[in-house]
Amino acid sequence: MTCLCVSRKFYIALVTIIALNFVAAGAKASEMLKPFVLAESSAKGTLVALEATVKNKLVKNGFDVVGQYSPYKDTRILVVSSQQLREHAAMSDYGAYGAILRVTLSKTDKGTQISYTHPVYMSHVYRMKTNLLDVYNKLSKVLGNEKIYGSEEGLSKDDLRNYQYKWLMPYFSDRHELADYGSQEVALAKVEKVLASGAGGTSKVYRVDLPGKQESVIGVGLSGPADNDCSGDQYIMSRIDFKPIKSAGHLPWEVVVSKGRVYALYAEFRIAINFPDLSMMGSNSFASIMCAPPAIKTALTKGVGGKEGEE
């Protein structure tokens, strides 16, 4: 009679292998990152009162509210920085993009969603030398952390550091040079002046200077000029921010002034990092905002006093 019994050692080994596979799968899942963090899904109270409460919490815990923006109805965006963020940002080339984070309040029928851009996710997108985990942990404690969102599967840090939406699309290292003023002082003065005039349907939302280097990041609101609203924040977000949990933290846009030159990320990259699951075709897709990338470049070029056609 043949014995079909499994030895105790073999059984233990099999169970161990299965358990290790589950642990490995869980570890891999935990490494996947998403662009936004939902702090609270249905906060009660008026938008104005909630905004004041959130702002007070941030300031009390060492964050600087460097800008406030309301691009369209029922949406408030607080742009925050801190000494920690600025020091982290100053360590990397073009790290100024990571010197700020955005905290958003989006009013819905079920209450107000309070969210913020994921510091760790953004640190890898901007190829920073530190992962901003300390900032993430602090924000989670101050505002809350119900879940991360903005992508179904998420992206690994390696994917983010070499992110490209599709083949032949731009990387983080591909940037528009919008203007060259020769010196940082002249560039900042010129950009501030032109933005104040509203050229190209632009407006200044914030400015943060990095310590110890000639580099600043300036937030730009885009209203969309009357003759071409394709660059407008409301135009774009009405088409791509269609899911129940809002991703208003995509806004506002930013330009970086580094050693007298003014840069902006390609729209194809800048939009994709915050909406990585956005389909190429169909409704609520990149095709629905096909006119946006060139319109945004034109608006930002005008907004910083650059000349169109120069790159």
The full set of domain ranges for the chain reads 32-303
In the predicted structure, residue 18 carries a pLDDT above the cut 50: no
Q: What is the pLDDT of residues 22-56, one digit of tens each?
A: 333 333 445 899 999 999 999 999 999 999 999 99
Termini Cα distance of the chain = 83
- DSSP-derived secondary structure letter, 81: E
pLDDT at 31: 84
Q: CB 128: neighbour CB atoms within 10 A?
A: 23
- Compute the 3-state secondary structure of the chain and give helix, strand, coil in percent, each to the nearest 5: 40, 25, 35
Average pLDDT over residues 134-142: 97
Q: CB 60: neighbour CB atoms within 10 A?
A: 9
pLDDT at 52: 98
Beta bridge partners of 265: 175
Tell me the percentage of the chain whose pLDDT exceeds 90.
83
Return the amino acid letter for 248: A
Confidence of residue 311 (pLDDT cuts 50, 70, 90): low
Domain range 32-303, CATH architecture: 2-Layer Sandwich (3.30)
Return the amino acid letter for 56: N
Q: Read off the pTM.
A: 0.88
Confidence of residue 10 (pLDDT cuts 50, 70, 90): very low
Average pLDDT over residues 108-121: 97
